[in-house]
Amino acid sequence: MLKVKIFTLYPESFPGPLNIGLYKKAMEKKLWSLEVINIRDYANDKHKTVDDTPFGGGNGMLMRPDVLSKALDKNINFDENNENIYLSPRGKKLEQSTAKNLSKEKNINIICGHFEGVDQRVLETRGVKELSVGDYVLSGGETASYVLLDSILRLIPGVLGNNLSSVVESFENDLLEYPQYTKPQKWEEKAVPEVLLSGDHAKIKGWRLTQSEAIARVLRPDWWNKYKKN
């Protein structure tokens, strides 16, 4: 079972958009668990202060190392294998391969930052890796954590009803997904491509591959180049 612990100042953000049938069922089946830790509970003073001004000056506030480390130390068993992740715009960019590797882990601990971020020393002393969901700045790590968890959870065997649906997908063959169609067969004068109605599976497979290649070539040259090399 994958045990997820989220460290946040906004515990009410969870399970948020992860509160969907698929993941609820997976939780009931004990494929994963979610524990939400309110960092503020570990503040030292009666005002529950979690942040302070940066040494050296500058705008904004930083999360204090003493408060955050206390939250981590009281909730993580450091004798076990843990992936400790701080969501941060300067981290390594999340990719399908990252999600795949993380879906094999047993303990994932996620720190959601706020303000200007967190004191560097906590990251260093507690073996925390930085992970980014893309080259843009969010106001907090919570939304990024939904993205991260959604990308991981669906790869855990048994979570998706049809295991195949996570295999034939964008990025899995260094390609992007081909166009798909459902009923009605004719809609707003637009018909579904003839080949898909042919019942000829080899032909359909060939058409889908050609489409995937064309899409990758035009929309994602980076993936197209990777695909061509393999």
Cα–Cα distance between 4 and 111 in angstroms, integer? Answer: 11
- 132 lines the binding site for ligand SAH (CB under 6 A): yes
How far is Cα 132 from Cα 191, in angstroms, rounded to an integer?
41
The residue (of 65 and 141) whose beta carbon lies closer to ligand SAH is 141
Backbone angles phi, psi at 141, to 5 degrees: -75, -10
One residue of 14, 141, 153, 208 binding ligand SAH per CB under 6 A = 141
| Distance between CA atoms of residues 230 and 225, nearest Å | 9
What is the x/- site pattern for ligand SAH, positions 92-131, by CB under 6 A? Answer: --------------------xxx-xx--------------
Contact pick of 48, 89, 171, 211 for ligand SAH (by CB under 6 A): 89
Cβ proximity to ligand SAH, 128 vs 153, nearer residue: 128
Of the residues 21, 45, 59, 137, which one makes contact with ligand SAH according to CB under 6 A: 137
Burial profile 167-204: b = 16 or more Cβ within 10 angstroms, e = fewer: eeebbeebbbebeeeeeeeeeeeeebeeebeeeeeeeb
Nearer to ligand SAH, 90 or 104 (CB): 90
Closer CB to ligand SAH, residue 112 or residue 159?
Answer: 112
**CA torsion angle 196 201 206 211 (round to 10):** 30
- Interface mask (CB under 6 A) for ligand SAH, residues 162-191, using x and -? ------------------------------
For the CB of residue 114, give the shortest distance to ligand SAH in the complex, in Å.
6
Residue with tokens 């907090």: 140
User: What residues have CB less than 8 Å from 25, skipping those under 6 apart?
Assistant: none
In the complex with ligand SAH, the residue whose CB is nearer, 112 or 153, is: 112
Q: Tell me the residue number closest to ligand SAH, measured at CB.
A: 113
Tell how strand 83-93 and strand 128-132 pair up. Answer: parallel
User: 3-state class of 168 per DSSP?
Assistant: coil
- Single out the segment in contact with ligand SAH by CB under 6 A; choices: 22-30, 31-39, 88-96, 198-206: 88-96
Contact residues for ligand SAH, defined by CB under 6 A: 87-90, 112-114, 116-117, 132-134, 136-141, 144
